[in-house]
Amino acid sequence: MIEITGLAKTFPARGSNAPVDALKDVNLTVQDGEFLTILGPSGCGKTTLLRMIAGLLPWDDGEILVNGRPVTGPGPERALVFQSFALLPWATILDNVAFGLELRGVVKAKRYERAAELIDLVGLTGFESRLPGQLSGGMQQRVGLARALAVDPKILLMDEPFGALDEQTRRLLQEELLQIWEATRKTVIFITHSMEEAVLLGDRVALMSPRPGRIVDLVAVPLPRPRAATVDAIEGSAEFAKLTAGLWRQLREMQLFRRHSAQGRHRSSEPAA
């Protein structure tokens, strides 16, 4: 279980730029085995929050607990999958997938055996000896996912992993991720800008406000599971349309309110004629 209480983060001023309040009073609980998607406007602190859960970024106030233990840095129970593929360009696909196991001191034969299993799981058998630059973007993201799974984390933290991909590849990888999750039932926190993706993948959708980011709503997704084999039917359902429309309505209202508030502050600061 992941428990986040009163989390806040301010990035200090740099040069002539004012300090940035990134997050304020973030409260969230993620259950074991849950697939939680996080949705919010650009710049609302989604990635900042994920990096804090991963233990890669400190915070100013609040607490993050993983299975009752405070997060003080990275841990073996958490693995992060980035939007950028972050692969070792000089290493083969097999070595990239096995990299985390090598860092943990797993002997070569065992880490290669496990890496080969995961390469097969993500549909890349036959590409073990290729370099990342010889693969498409979608294939590289599959390698990144296999590398994260290799260390058998309890928690997968995914920062818009499909955001840079074309629509066809993105849809295929959504289905593949659903299959993997249905087989492993790991806890997943998945950041996205897509309302459709958030609903298709998630058990719940956490909706964040514009900066400073906080959780303003938690939307349950009562769509049946397993979903990997029924994606087309799910996306064509009235419930799917209702959920995505509701999320867009909330996002739109937050964005318009922020814009009108900013315009009001600007007018009030103008000198009188």
Average pLDDT, the chain: 90
Query: What DSSP element (H or E) covers 189?
Result: strand 187-192
The average pLDDT across 20-31 equals 94
The sign of the CA dihedral 191, 197, 200, 205 is positive
Q: What is the pLDDT of residues 117-158, one digit of tens each?
A: 999 988 899 999 999 999 988 899 889 889 988 888 999 999
Burial of 234 (0-12, 13-18, 19+ CB in 10 A): middle
Its pTM stands at 0.89
Domain ranges of the chain: 2-77+153-265
Characterise 62 by phi-psi region: left (phi > 0), alpha (psi -120 to 50), beta (else): left
Summarize pLDDT for 168-192 with one digit per residue, the tens.
888 888 998 999 899 889 999 999 9
- The mean pLDDT of 228-257, rounded to a whole number, is 91
* CATH homologous superfamily, domain 2-77+153-265: P-loop containing nucleotide triphosphate hydrolases (3.40.50.300)
pLDDT number for residue 57 = 94
